[in-house]
């Protein structure tokens, strides 16, 4: 049972990372960050960074990899939002 929960947790973290991909694609295609909350995605990125650190302390590879994948995709949304807003200014 413990192994099943660990696998389900890892798959859940992977799905979490994939949920940011449509936003990345929308930003990339439109080249415009209108309607995207920088506070929300920036906050998610910070929390995912904290999750990675926590995973390191707990020696939890699933947590580290899942949070890193989420940080990459969510961080891309954050970066593109900043990039397009600064470019617009």
Which of 3-7, 44-48, 54-58 has the least mean pLDDT?
3-7
pLDDT score of 26 more than 90: yes
CB atoms within 10 A of CB 50: 11
Confidence of residue 7 (pLDDT cuts 50, 70, 90): confident
User: What is the extent of the structural domain holding 78?
Assistant: 2-88
Average pLDDT over residues 19-41: 96
Please report the pLDDT score of residue 35 as a whole number. 94
Please report the pLDDT score of residue 41 as a whole number. 97
Q: What is the CATH number of the domain that holds 20?
A: 1.20.1280.290
**What average pLDDT does the structure give for the chain?**
95
Q: How many domains does the chain have?
A: 1
Buried/exposed 2-37: b ≥16 CB within 10 Å, e otherwise: eeeeeeeebeebeebbeebeebbeebeeeeebeebe
pTM: 0.90
């Amino acid at each position: 049972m413990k192994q099943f929960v660990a696998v389900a947790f890892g798959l859940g973290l992977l799905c979490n990372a994939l949920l940011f991909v449509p936003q990345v694609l929308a930003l990339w295609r439109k080249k415009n960050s209108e309607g995207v909350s920088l506070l929300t995605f920036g906050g998610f990125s910070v929390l995912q960074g904290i999750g990675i650190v926590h995973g390191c302390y707990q020696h939890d590879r699933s947590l580290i990899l899942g949070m890193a994948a989420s940080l990459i995709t969510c961080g891309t949304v954050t970066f593109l939002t900043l990039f397009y807003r600064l470019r617009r200014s």
